[in-house]
Amino acid sequence: MVNKHPDIRKNEYCNVYVEDLTHEGKGVAKIDGYPLFVAGVLPGEKATIQVTKLNKGYGFGRLIELLEKSESRVAPACPIYEECGGCQLQHMSYQGQLLAKEKQVREILQRIGKLDDVPVHPVLGMDNPWRYRNKAQVPIGEREGGLVGGFYKQRTHEIIDMEACLIQMEENDAVLQKLKTVCSEFGLRAYDENTHKGTLRHIMVRSGKVTGHIMVVLITKTSDIPNRKKLVKTIVNAIPGVKSIVHNVNTKRTNVIFGEQTNILWGDEFIYDYIGNIRFAISARSFYQVNPEQTKVLYDKALEYAQLTGQETVIDAYCGIGTISLFLAQKAKKVYGVEIVPEAIEDARRNAELNGIHNVEFAVGEAESVIPKWYKEGVKADVLVVDPPRKGCDETLLKTIIDMKPKKVVYVSCNPATLARDLRILEDDGYKTMEVQPVDMFPHTVHVECVVLMSRVEK
């Protein structure tokens, strides 16, 4: 039996004061200590809400009316903001977002990591926090005979047709509109996930922020595209700057975007772009940071924390396509990178060759398996860099770091909660967290990245 709060009932209307934000961007209001999570409200606001759900320890509410507004409240710039859900914080000023993210990092480090005295610097934000994403991928649907493409409406698979996404590069928006028109003119039918019929599932566009190169990826259910040659010729003529047109086939009943089969229809297999002075080859399936401007900010900070003099051996766990590794290699004696995805390591080696960087060595495998093997073979890291997925570092890897005793650990994190957990483990075994620098990689969303410097403390 659900232990409902004695003073409130489902569907009841309440006036509340909003105290905080969750990591999902919902406002937190409390009634006699019982938290209610409400979308669309900000800390410091008073609102009338309707209680929509009551659980044992917390509940949910729906905003009915704002009674007092926060100074940080702004009108969302995007016309489909409330329907879409791709951004969660457009109703908050950008300065307010940065302050909220700093507060989130600080409080999570204290609550989960018991790190009360660690300096957390103000979040490094963008001068212009719009139009930063260099990759657009949208599901395709059909309406009144024409193709639509956009994002799924919140908590549904209903596609909102989108003319512009204000956090995507304008070039990508323009290309998507042209592709929807061209594909409609050629009679391509949208894939229907209910009937498993139709052809076109998704369209992806990648753009080089520095180079201006454009890649178009058509993801279909079928291995053949009707009138393929004419379609490709029309796309080439319609889109100046296109360097690559790629066809990916996904025949499965799945929500996963890509299938296993990828073919180049026209142009090159790769487009190129730069982060700082490092050039990267980007294929249809490559993992490449979607905000290269802030990626440079993030990696510059990691490089600063590493304090390399040219004499150090560095290990880059979870190295991906070698982005951090190549930055580090410019200042280190030798860099070892490890990544579980074979294609990413192929990209990493290609990118090292592309930039004439030869003091790097990449291996395929789990960081928690490969790094202990390197350690047994005599590889001793002066600096160890980790940039793990959202789940954080594997326990075996943390144990290896503790055994290996690098002088510095530079931890790049996309999840403050798992970051705090891992820092606590390292703190308990000989490391001290020196400072934390949050970086806003994804303005107007709830996500925040951090770079952390840890130093070995000899007991």
On whether residue 80 sits in a domain, the answer given is: no
pLDDT tens-digit series, residues 237-280? 999 999 999 999 999 998 899 999 999 999 999 999 999 999 99
- Is 414 one of the annotated active-site residues of the chain? yes
On whether residue 285 sits in a domain, the answer given is: no
Asked if pLDDT for residue 428 goes beyond 50, the answer is yes
pLDDT tens-digit series, residues 133-177? 999 999 999 988 689 999 888 878 889 888 899 999 999 999 999
Q: What percentage of the chain's residues is helix, strand, coil (to nearest 5)?
A: 25, 30, 40
Query: What is the residue range of 252's domain?
Result: 135-275
pLDDT band, very low/low/confident/very high, at 1 (cuts 50, 70, 90): very low
CA 254 to chain centre: 22
pLDDT tens-digit series, residues 374-394? 988 999 999 999 999 999 999
Of 84, 165, 319, 414, the active-site residue reads: 414
On whether residue 193 sits in a domain, the answer given is: yes
Residue among 140, 132, 210 at smallest CA distance from 166: 132
pLDDT at 115: 97
pLDDT at 337: 97
Q: Rounded to whole angstroms, what are the CA distances from 155 to 83, 118, 151? A: 10, 38, 11
Q: How far apart are CA 189 and CA 198, in angstroms?
A: 5
On whether residue 81 sits in a domain, the answer given is: no
Q: What is the mean pLDDT of residues 308-316?
A: 97
Total domains, the chain: 3
What's the sign of the alpha-carbon dihedral 31, 33, 39, 44? positive
Asked if residue 115 and residue 51 are part of one domain, the reply reads no
Whichever domain contains 426, its CATH number is 3.40.50.150
Q: What is the mean pLDDT of residues 304-317?
A: 97
pLDDT at 167: 97
pLDDT at 135: 97
pLDDT band, very low/low/confident/very high, at 2 (cuts 50, 70, 90): very low
Asked if pLDDT for residue 459 goes beyond 80, the answer is no
